[in-house]
Amino acid sequence: MFEAKLDRGIVLKKILDAINQLVNEASWECTSSGMSLQAMDTSHVSLVAVNLNGDGFSKFRCDRNMVLGMNLVNLSKILKCAGNDDKVTIKAADGDDKIKLIFEAPNEYEVSQYEIKLMNLDAEYLGIPETSYNVTVKMPAAKFQRICRDLNQIGDAVTISCTKSGVDFSATGDLGNGSVSLSQNSSFDKPEDNVTISMQEPLSQTFALKYLNQFTKATPLCSQVTLSLSPDVPLVVEYKIIEENEEDSKNEIGHIRYYLAPKIDD
């Protein structure tokens, strides 16, 4: 028996919005410690990994490990039927070929139930080694989204260059070129606007903007995004999954990490 309840169903909607264009089908691995998902896009250039901690749920029970393979586009459709303030419960019985989704409205007299068929998916699970990254840039998620969108007007790829003075995002295309430079800054009043750069050695790598623009669909989850880079390994774009409660308290309940293989010179 698996049962997981989130008090703010909108968090699940945001997670699905962040991944369902990159991957259409994926398996959730459910264990006593939480739910996780790992999947590559069809061209195997990028990989998304979602992790939700069991203790981030208001109720979490997983008697035995389960793999819930499903069509994420369909899951997204059903989650659209939940109100943003609804409590959302996911239930799966051992050996069943479907999961149940229960939406409880805040008024406490309206309950909706939906079922989705599960799928047997051939999971290609990749081992992601622990890496210590040369460069880590923490910046406003909305700023990163804006930069990726703007530079995609110029070209298909962005070159991210880090030096002592800051981080440069640049693109070149038929019409010309463009770049956005950010230097480290911190604001006591607005920590969500901070840019934090930690760097061991200068580095420059090029990535396809098509994928980065898909990753920025996770922007509503968290005010800051972390980019981690090292030579010859995929870029990691990480968003914390933050649940905002009625009292305006913020609770980190997991993360989404996107990995993107770099473009390299022929």
Partner 1 sequence: KNQQTTMSKYFGNS
Q: What does 32-47 look like in DSSP terms, one character per residue? A: TTEEEEEEE-TTSSEE
Sorted by sequence, the CB contacts under 8 Å of residue 204 that are 6+ apart come out as: 159, 160, 161, 162
Piece of 20-28, 127-135, 163-171, 239-247 that binds partner 1 (CB under 8 A): 127-135
Q: How far is CA 143 from CA 51, 115, 181, 243, in A?
A: 24, 38, 11, 21
Q: Does 194 bind partner 1 (CB under 8 A)?
A: no
| Nearest alpha-carbon partner for 27 in 68, 71, 75 | 68
Residue 237 region by backbone torsions, left for phi larger than 0, else alpha for psi between -120 and 50, else beta = beta
Q: Does 124 bind partner 1 (CB under 8 A)?
A: yes
Q: Please state the closest distance from residue 262 (CB atom) to partner 1, in A.
A: 6
**Positions 201 through 240 that interact with partner 1 (CB under 8 A):** 206, 208, 232-234
Contact pick of 5, 45, 53, 150 for partner 1 (by CB under 8 A): 45
- Based on CB atoms, which residue is closest to partner 1, 105 or 233? 233
Q: How far is CA 204 from CA 80, 134, 159, 209, 250, in A?
A: 40, 11, 7, 15, 35
Q: Does 125 bind partner 1 (CB under 8 A)?
A: yes
Q: Please state the closest distance from residue 160 (CB atom) to partner 1, in A.
A: 13
Q: Does 155 bind partner 1 (CB under 8 A)?
A: no
- Based on CB atoms, which residue is closest to partner 1, 87 or 255? 255
Q: Does 262 bind partner 1 (CB under 8 A)?
A: yes
- Based on CB atoms, which residue is closest to partner 1, 191 or 231? 231
Piece of 51-59, 98-106, 213-221, 255-263 that binds partner 1 (CB under 8 A): 255-263
**For residue 47, which phi and psi values (nearest 5 degrees)?**
-140, 140
Contact pick of 128, 180, 182, 203 for partner 1 (by CB under 8 A): 128
- Based on CB atoms, which residue is closest to partner 1, 63 or 124? 124
- Based on CB atoms, which residue is closest to partner 1, 12 or 160? 160
Contact pick of 29, 40, 96, 143 for partner 1 (by CB under 8 A): 40
Instruction: Tell me which residue has tokens 């047997």.
Output: 120
DSSP classification of residue 186: -
**CB–CB of 178/170 below 8 Å?**
yes
Piece of 14-22, 42-50, 145-153, 173-181 that binds partner 1 (CB under 8 A): 42-50
Other Cβ atoms less than 10 A from the Cβ of 97: the count is 11
Other Cβ atoms less than 10 A from the Cβ of 154: the count is 19
| Nearest alpha-carbon partner for 81 in 25, 22, 10 | 10
Q: Which residues bind partner 1 (CB under 8 A)?
A: 40, 43-47, 124-129, 157, 206, 208, 232-234, 259, 261-266
